[in-house]
């Protein structure tokens, strides 16, 4: 705790403008004489680092209040040194980031790094920690949301904000700032969408898309539709994990692309991602044809530390010869792993040609520095959002399970979700054609058709015994 000085504390600082006796003795001059000194008051205090410091105040009461507050905060271990918060956010990021990378996955590090560089650093990089206010943060959040003409959707705004929030929370714990200005920030919510816009693509639509895809990507799309696997799980699928006899796939690893480099990752998105996925007859036939057409494929079992080993991959790109080798002698055989960016380009082209695509062009104005003059100028930018996305096939698969009566807990296991309640509900209910079900009930459906009944306020379908039995067989 700060000790009391043997001399007066606080003490009045002599001023060259004051005409009192003591100030004139210290700074002689021809000034009007005054009885009272109007110099500032200095409060001297000693933080835990044992170096005495001083802070000036206009009145003695303010200096006394500061000293009392300082002693209480040091005694209760709540003292925050203002000097430690005078570093810029960029300087603090370089210190804070070192403590984060050891606990994060490579994909998360890559994503958070982009959010920091593209959004947080641009606005707050040169601002000192102590100068960031609640209003600054709220104004920034509002400015980058596409609902106000910014570049980011609500979910992306939340991710960028979380980076700043984590940094300032760590600065508070490190006693650099007394409070986190991110507390109480109102984040934008996703815009409500019509149920028809949330509905995933149908099997007929996906069949049209498959016809427009390159030959080597058609099996990838079809297996995604039949199993609900994520793209990273499909790209990282190896023949040793495929059992065509028992009709199962073991999901044990994925391919990731941190900073553009393809790598094997020992575990999928979460622990729930480690699972066994059943194969339909269509999926089994597809994989048999792939295996028969790949004489150089391998069923060897390897570990992620052994490298890519592309000969073990079920799916690969079109590269038959490694880039840079001569084709005259056959070249070096190379089965390039699938890349997300390459798939997206061809997927967008396919859904556009198939006539099932919906696109939304979003435009915004951004401040950009002119490299020649160094001045900040306004530049209009745009982004195109396409539907359906490759990932939407998981929604189609989940809706298929839902229609067959598969219990939600089982659907959770197959899809690799951490929790069933909220996530799987979004997958299944977004596609439910409730209007069609009610219309069938109102007009009188045949005995074999789906009917509606009310259970705890929710509409559920009641199937006849044959449909229920078939559903149970399908689940088994």
Per-residue pLDDT averaged across 251-260, rounded? Answer: 88
More confident residue, 198 or 421: 198
In this predicted model, what pLDDT tens digit does every residue of 414-423 receive, in sequence order?
888 775 454 5
Range name among 111-125, 134-148, 259-273, 281-295 with the lowest pLDDT average: 259-273
Task: Quote the pLDDT of residue 95.
Answer: 92
Task: Quote the pLDDT of residue 466.
Answer: 37
153: pLDDT strictly greater than 70: yes
Task: Quote the pLDDT of residue 133.
Answer: 96
In this predicted model, what pLDDT tens digit does every residue of 171-194 receive, in sequence order?
999 889 989 999 999 999 877 666
Task: Quote the pLDDT of residue 375.
Answer: 78
Mean pLDDT for all residues in the chain: 81
In this predicted model, what pLDDT tens digit does every residue of 48-99 receive, in sequence order?
766 788 889 988 899 999 898 888 888 877 777 777 888 999 999 999 998 8
Rg (CA), the chain: 33
CB 351 within 8 A of CB 327: no
Task: Quote the pLDDT of residue 160.
Answer: 94
Q: Residue 459's beta-bridge partner residues?
A: 454
pTM for the whole structure: 0.70
Closest by Cα among 237, 203, 380 to 314? 237
Closest by Cα among 12, 8, 9, 13 to 68? 9
In this predicted model, what pLDDT tens digit does every residue of 258-316 receive, in sequence order?
888 898 988 766 666 688 899 999 999 999 999 998 888 899 999 888 989 989 999 98
Q: Which are the contacts of 317, defined by CB distance < 8 A and separation ≥ 6?
A: 216, 335, 336, 337, 338, 339, 342
3-class DSSP state of 126 = coil
Per-residue pLDDT averaged across 130-154, rounded? Answer: 91
In this predicted model, what pLDDT tens digit does every residue of 300-356 receive, in sequence order?
999 888 989 989 999 988 765 555 554 444 555 567 899 999 999 999 999 999 999
- In this prediction, residue 3 has a pLDDT band, given cuts at 50, 70 and 90, of very low
Domains in the chain, CATH or no CATH each? 11-79 (no CATH), 89-173 (1.10.150), 198-339 (1.10.443)
6: pLDDT strictly greater than 80: no
Percent of the chain past pLDDT 70, that is, above it, reads 79
146: pLDDT strictly greater than 70: yes
Percent of the chain past pLDDT 90, that is, above it, reads 39
In this predicted model, what pLDDT tens digit does every residue of 382-413 receive, in sequence order?
888 899 999 999 989 988 888 888 888 888 88
Where b means 16+ CB within 10 Å and e means fewer, 180-200 reads: bbbeebeebeeeeeeeeeebb
Task: Quote the pLDDT of residue 328.
Answer: 43
CB 212 within 8 A of CB 353: yes
What are the φ and ψ backbone dihedral angles of 78, each rounded to 5 degrees? -115, 10
Q: Residue 364's beta-bridge partner residues?
A: 381
248: pLDDT strictly greater than 80: yes
With tokens 């816009």, the residue in question is: 197
Cα distance between the two ends of the chain: 70
Task: Quote the pLDDT of residue 269.
Answer: 60
Task: Return d(Cα 28, Cα 21) in angstroms, integer.
Answer: 10
Task: Quote the pLDDT of residue 249.
Answer: 92
464: pLDDT strictly greater than 60: no
- In this prediction, residue 36 has a pLDDT band, given cuts at 50, 70 and 90, of confident
Question: Cα-Cα-Cα-Cα dihedral of 368, 369, 375, 376, to 10°?
Answer: 20
Per-residue pLDDT averaged across 135-146, rounded? Answer: 93
345: left (phi over 0), alpha (psi -120 to 50) or beta: alpha
Range name among 210-224, 322-336, 446-460 with the lowest pLDDT average: 446-460
34: pLDDT strictly greater than 50: yes
CA atoms within 13 A on the CB side of 287: 26
Task: Quote the pLDDT of residue 444.
Answer: 62
- In this prediction, residue 430 has a pLDDT band, given cuts at 50, 70 and 90, of low
Task: Quote the pLDDT of residue 459.
Answer: 35
CB 248 within 8 A of CB 414: no
Calculate helix-pair angle for 218-227, 392-403, nearest 10 degrees.
40
What are the φ and ψ backbone dihedral angles of 197, each rounded to 5 degrees? -75, -20
Task: Quote the pLDDT of residue 74.
Answer: 81
The edge-to-edge listing of strands for the beta sheet with 53-57 is: 11-12, 41-45, 53-57
């Amino acid at each position: 705790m700060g000790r009391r000085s043997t001399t007066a504390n606080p003490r009045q600082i002599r001023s060259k403008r004051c005409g009192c006796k003591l100030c004139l003795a210290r700074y002689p001059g021809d000034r009007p004489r005054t009885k009272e000194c109007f110099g500032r008051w200095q409060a001297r205090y000693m933080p835990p680092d044992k170096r005495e410091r001083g802070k000036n105040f206009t009145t003695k009461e303010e200096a006394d209040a500061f000293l009392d507050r300082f002693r209480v905060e040091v005694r209760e271990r709540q003292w925050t040194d203002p000097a430690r918060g005078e570093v810029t956010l960029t300087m603090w990021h370089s210190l804070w980031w070192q403590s984060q990378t050891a606990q994060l996955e490579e994909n998360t590090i890559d994503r958070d790094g982009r959010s920091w560089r593209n959004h947080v650093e641009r606005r707050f990089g040169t601002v000192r920690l102590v100068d960031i206010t609640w209003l600054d943060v709220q104004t920034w959040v509002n400015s980058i949301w596409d609902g106000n003409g910014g570049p980011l959707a609500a979910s992306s705004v939340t991710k960028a904000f979380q980076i700043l929030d984590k940094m300032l929370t760590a600065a508070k714990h490190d006693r650099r700032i007394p409070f986190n200005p991110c507390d109480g920030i109102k984040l934008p919510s996703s815009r409500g969408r019509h149920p028809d816009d949330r509905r995933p693509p149908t099997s007929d639509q996906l069949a049209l898309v498959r016809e427009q895809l390159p030959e080597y990507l058609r099996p990838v799309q079809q297996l995604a539709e039949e199993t609900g696997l994520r793209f990273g799980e499909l790209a990282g699928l190896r023949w040793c994990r495929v059992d065509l006899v028992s009709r199962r796939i073991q999901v044990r690893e994925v391919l990731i692309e941190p900073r553009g480099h393809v790598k094997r990752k020992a575990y999928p998105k979460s622990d729930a991602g480690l699972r066994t996925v059943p194969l339909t007859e269509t999926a089994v036939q597809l994989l048999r044809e792939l295996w028969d057409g790949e004489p150089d494929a391998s069923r060897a079992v390897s570990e992620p530390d052994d490298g890519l080993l592309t000969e073990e991959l079920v799916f690969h790109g079109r590269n038959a010869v490694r880039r840079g080798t001569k084709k005259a002698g056959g070249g070096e055989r190379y089965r390039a792993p699938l890349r997300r960016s390459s798939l997206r380009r061809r997927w967008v082209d396919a859904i556009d040609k198939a006539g099932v695509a919906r696109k939304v062009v979003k435009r915004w104005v951004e401040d950009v520095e002119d490299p020649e003059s160094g001045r900040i100028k306004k530049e209009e930018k745009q982004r195109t959002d396409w539907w359906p996305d490759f990932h939407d096939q998981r929604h189609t698969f989940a809706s298929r399970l839902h229609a067959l009566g598969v219990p939600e807990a089982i659907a959770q296991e197959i899809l690799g979700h951490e929790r069933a309640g909220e996530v799987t509900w979004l997958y299944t209910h977004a596609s439910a054609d409730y209007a069609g079900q009610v219309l069938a009930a109102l007009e009188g459906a045949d005995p074999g058709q789906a009917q509606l009944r009310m259970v705890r306020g929710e509409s559920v379908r009641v199937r006849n015994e044959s449909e229920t039995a078939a559903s149970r067989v399908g689940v088994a």
